[in-house]
Homo-oligomer: A and B are copies of this chain.
Amino acid sequence: MNIVTISREFGSGGRELGKRLADELGVSCYDDEIIEMVAERHGLSKDYAAHMSEKNFRVLYPSTIGCRFAGFTHQMHPTTHQSVQFAVAQQQVIKELAGQGNCVVVGRCADVILRELTPLNLFVYATQESKLARCMSRMKEDEHYSPREIVLMMKRIDKERTAYRELLSDDDWGNKESYHLCINTSNKEIKKLIPGLAAYVKCWFGE
């Protein structure tokens, strides 16, 4: 099974890179599909499921950040319990989807969750300036964030991703040692990197 996982800094274009890489490789890309499947399976609205997913995980663990699942199940309050249930359901879905065949999985600590399937783990990053420019250029018409607000959002979300990974793994989020290839997208058009990246992925898997 050839699985590529994408971890990424907010605004670095990791999601776009994952989608384009999957298209180039002719495999499935799982991103929001994961949340949708969890929502459908457990009778949750998509919005609620998105809220419960990775990006809000940290908020639900105000006093337990840095612990591991096994360490604090006895002290859960209901919200935490729901959150853990959601995380378990999400992990299950990720494993099921990855079990169906070659794919790219974006975010949600798939590199850790799928470790037994020995995926190729990518990390996508960029300078703050480049990430900010990317976010500003992609803002929807009804969104009106200032550059300062976007930078704060970037930091908050990356902090949440760091915290979520801490719950699952001893390897740190964003440390190059936790990944097989770290891709700096600063000031680059992602689609232009994809054929080369796809070639690297194929070599990695010995194709």
Do A183 and B184 have beta carbons less than 8 Å apart?
no
Contact B192 A202 (CB under 8 A): no
A143 within 8 A of B: no
Asked whether any CB of chain B lies closer than 8 Å to the CB of A177, the reply is yes
Contacts A125-B176, A125-B177, A177-B125 given: A195-B203 contact, CB under 8 Å? Answer: yes
The contact size tier of chain A is 20 to 34
Q: What's the least CB distance linking A126 to chain B, in Å?
A: 9
Which residues in chain A, 188-207, are within 8 Å of chain B measured between CB atoms? Answer: 188, 192-197, 199-204, 206
Q: Is A89 an interface residue (CB 8 A)?
A: no
**Partner among B123, B177, B183, B202 whose Cβ is within 8 Å of the Cβ of A196:** B202
* In contact, B200 and A196 (Cβ under 8 angstroms): yes
Residues of B near A180 (CB, < 8 A) are 184, 186
Q: Which residues of A contact B (CB under 8 A)?
A: 123, 125, 127, 176-177, 179-184, 186, 188, 192-197, 199-204, 206
